[in-house]
Amino acid sequence: MKVYGDSIRNVGFFSALNDRELEMVSKIAHAKTFNKGYLIFEEGEKRDTLYIVLKGRVKVSLYDEDGREYILDIIGKEGFFGELSLFEELSGFANVVTLESSDLLIIRRNDFMRLLMENPAFAVSMIRELSTRLRAANEKLKTFAFLGVEGRILKYLTDIGERSGVKVKDRVIIENGPTQVEIASACGCSRETVSRMIKNLVEKGRISVLKKQYTLRPVYAP
């Protein structure tokens, strides 16, 4: 198995594969390094590729008619994007840009579909993972509908912590976390509001902040 086989195993819908199947995935994948600020694809661009983050971070965002950016997600190590394009050629619904030098594993649709048809267990795992991501999208809509700004910020940080944070006793530590500008874009508010709300959360003991390191409770409770 190639050197990134263990990273593939830790990606959601690949976790059910055995060693032989993981080796098959490794054989159809190739890794590529992208410099910081590289536009992997933009909104409306046709695509047919799944990307897995081996190292680094990427930002998924949209721009409105006035040029304001709205961050939909920040994806770190062992996260992935572009999975829907593996089933049919789609126009990208968002822009994806690297936030730092990033190593991405690339899998093309034709190769993936062949693997899917040859491995029923892989197909079932894929369906489960897509279902999980759909639920996450629905939860994000509910978050914006029912939580105030402070709650949205805490929920946003907690989601990042659950995906890529390190659990230490009753806390989750996020290394190299999002900037206040990124938080503002993701939570639909200004950077000044983020600064004020983070100060409130620190005073309440919900989080602590040291430069770009965030420490927070592992389970969100409004």
Mean pLDDT score, 78-102: 83
Q: With 50 as the cut, is the pLDDT of residue 220 above it?
A: no
The CATH number corresponding to 149-216 among 1.10.10.10, 3.40.50.300, 3.20.20.100, 1.10.290.10 equals 1.10.10.10
In the DSSP assignment, the letter for residue 220 is: -
Cα(176)–Cα(77) distance, integer angstroms: 12
The CATH number corresponding to 5-143 among 3.40.50.300, 2.60.120.10, 1.20.1730.10, 3.10.50.40 equals 2.60.120.10
Cα(29)–Cα(80) distance, integer angstroms: 13
Q: Tell me the two tokens of residue 74.
A: 């920040």
CATH 1.10.10.10 spans which residues of the chain? 149-216
pLDDT of residue 222: 44
List all residues 6 or more positions away from 26 whose beta carbon is below 8 Å from its beta carbon.
1, 2, 4, 5, 8
Type of residue at 194: V
Kindly report the pTM of this predicted structure. Answer: 0.66
Tens digit of pLDDT for each residue in 91-145? 777 899 999 999 999 999 899 888 888 878 777 877 877 787 778 777 777 766 7
Q: Are 42 and 92 in contact (CB under 8 A)?
A: yes
CATH 2.60.120.10 spans which residues of the chain? 5-143
Q: With 70 as the cut, is the pLDDT of residue 13 above it?
A: no
- Name the nearest CA neighbour of 186 among 200, 197, 201, 173: 197
